[in-house]
Amino acid sequence: MSQAFQDRILNDFLPIFCTSRSWSTDGFKADWSKISEVDATDFLRGFSGGLLKHEGRGLYRAPRSYASEQFFSSGSKQKNPRHITLSVEPIITVAVLARLHFELGWPKESLGTQTKGGWAFDVATYLSSDSEVEYIACEVKKSSAEVGELLELMDRFGKNPHAAVAFKEQNAFRKVKALRSRRPPLFWAVGPARSGHAFRVEYSEEDVVFFHEIQDLDYLSWRHVDRLAHPGDL
């Protein structure tokens, strides 16, 4: 793990988070192994590019966000100092914002996290300032295995709008429900170290959702927003 990332976490983000809650930073249990080097680099790039602003209390928000991001999880109130750990998914979330802006060309004002209607998706892009419909709906998972499981469930629920849903499957079902409701044309599932899969999403009149995988992530770029008028090109 880069020293630059560790220093930023330990000297900037952690003290702000703890001080605003009157907690000691001594409770922080560093486990850098859960964060990939490339995600750490993209995370720092997102902040250096001003993609998120601090709202206070260690909470950070991108322009089109429906909720803020925080980078730490806390344990029991009964322990002193309180146990604090670094959260993997919010780190990757910021890394995705950086990729969307710096590599795929999306304007800062078009990017957000935690979408409307119950925060169904972790990251989204929007085509206009007054639109609440995602153009790219993106879900972040902390492991490649979780990405695979999510995609398998979403494919099943997409094909069968009336499928029975077990308790542990509700998260995946909620995302398919959000897709049906707002019909974004693109879905991107992202795991650690830039792993993941992107899809063009097709919707039938019978509410069936089809996922067509996109091999070239350049098709998610801002300059290609008109390509969905010609889906065969994907």
pLDDT per residue over 172-201, tens digit each? 999 999 999 999 999 999 999 999 999 999
pTM above 0.85, yes or no: yes
Integer CA distances (angstroms), 180 to 68, 76, 147, 157, in order: 25, 38, 20, 11
Residues of the chain whose pLDDT is less than 70? 227-234
Task: Provide the pLDDT for residue 227.
Answer: 55
Q: What is the pLDDT of residue 229?
A: 45
